[in-house]
Amino acid sequence: MESAVGFENLSCHFGEIRAVGNVSFEVKKGEFFAMLGPSGSGKSTCLRLIAGFQKPTSGRIKILGEDVALIPPYRRKVNIVFQDYALFPHMNVSENVAYGLLIKGVSKPDRVKAVDQALDMVRLSGYGRRKPNQLSGGQRQRVALARALVNKPEILLLDEPLGALDLKLREQMQEELKDLHRELGITFILVTHDQGEAMSMADRVAVFSEGKIAQLGTPENLYKYPQSPFIASFVGSSNVLSPEFVDFLTGRKRWASLRSEAISLVGATDESAQVTGTILSNIYLGSSYRITVDAQGQRLRVLIPAGCLLPVEGETVGLSWSGSDFHLMEDELT
């Protein structure tokens, strides 16, 4: 598949600070690609490098096969949606959406037609005369999307676009962005610190840590087969098992990952139990309970459906799991 964006041994420094260090990856054309990581991990810097707002210290960036080192932001085939939307408060919705076309010298009749189409695409037909302060957060987000899409970019950059929304609206917008990507067929590149956003929307996810990619893969691959304790703890909610505990269980001194939902509580003397432990606490989460168990000094979190028989604190239980859910990480420790 043709490449939309390619990083080749790219680094970016701010004085003595390394924001991005020798990163290489490729975004496929038409892909929904996410860059995920905590604050300061380098993901936002990579997005700014694609947009042209930041210059690399070394390495190359290609957009649609073209080296963009000398191409300014306004000539790149990308548009960006910012977290704070960056709408002009003195302009109405239609004027905000049309601004980029106005700057390009597009005629008024063509601007009006394009704006109507863009607002219809984000389900805001009839909102053109409203000002940004007359809109909800979700509606302002849609205006920002329409303003980017009206320019018909080949690549849409999304910089923490849902960060200012409440949980319910954020989940709704996740579905809408995924539907919009499917409808348009263009490349979406999302930057987020929210693993739920990345996992629910993206075809592939690059997880950043300290200016480098810690792991890149499909959401399912990252969730099931984390390569390091950082990935296991950052992507989803996993039990990161210490080398000492894994050595006790398997005779191999390795880090391991075991998802909470993969563990079953059984009787302490049940033959299927891999280990026994003591219940430390249970927390009600609505559809499930999160049980914390002390097993040979290793704390394990177990998710069980609400309605199941709930063990009491201090009770000794057995813990059972499938061998396929017990994932060894990194090289053997000496």
Point out the least confidently predicted range of 64-78, 152-166, 262-276: 152-166
pLDDT tens sequence across 105-125: 899 999 999 999 999 988 899
Phi-psi region of 236 (alpha: psi -120 to 50; beta: other; left: phi over 0): left
pLDDT at 169 over 80: no
Residue from 173, 301, 148 nearest 239 by CA? 301
1: confidence class by pLDDT, cuts 50, 70, 90:
low
pLDDT of residue 331: 63
310: confidence class by pLDDT, cuts 50, 70, 90:
confident
Residues 186-193 have a mean pLDDT of 95
Q: Which residue is associated with the tokens 């037909």?
A: 125
pLDDT at 163 over 80: no
Residues 187-198 have a mean pLDDT of 93
pLDDT at 161 over 70: yes
Q: What average pLDDT does the chain have?
A: 91
Point out the least confidently predicted range of 86-100, 155-169, 199-213, 276-290: 155-169
Residues 224-242 have a mean pLDDT of 90
pLDDT of residue 9: 96
pLDDT of residue 129: 93
Class of domain 3-232: alpha beta
Q: Does domain 239-329 have CATH number 3.20.20.140?
A: no
pLDDT at 334 over 50: no
pLDDT of residue 138: 83
Q: Letter for the amino acid at 187?
A: T
C-alpha neighbours within 13 Å on the C-beta side of residue 172 = 11
The domain segmentation of the chain, as residue ranges, is: 3-232, 239-329
Say what percent of the chain tops pLDDT 70. 98
Q: Letter for the amino acid at 332?
A: E
Residue 206 in contact with residue 44, Cβ under 8 Å? no
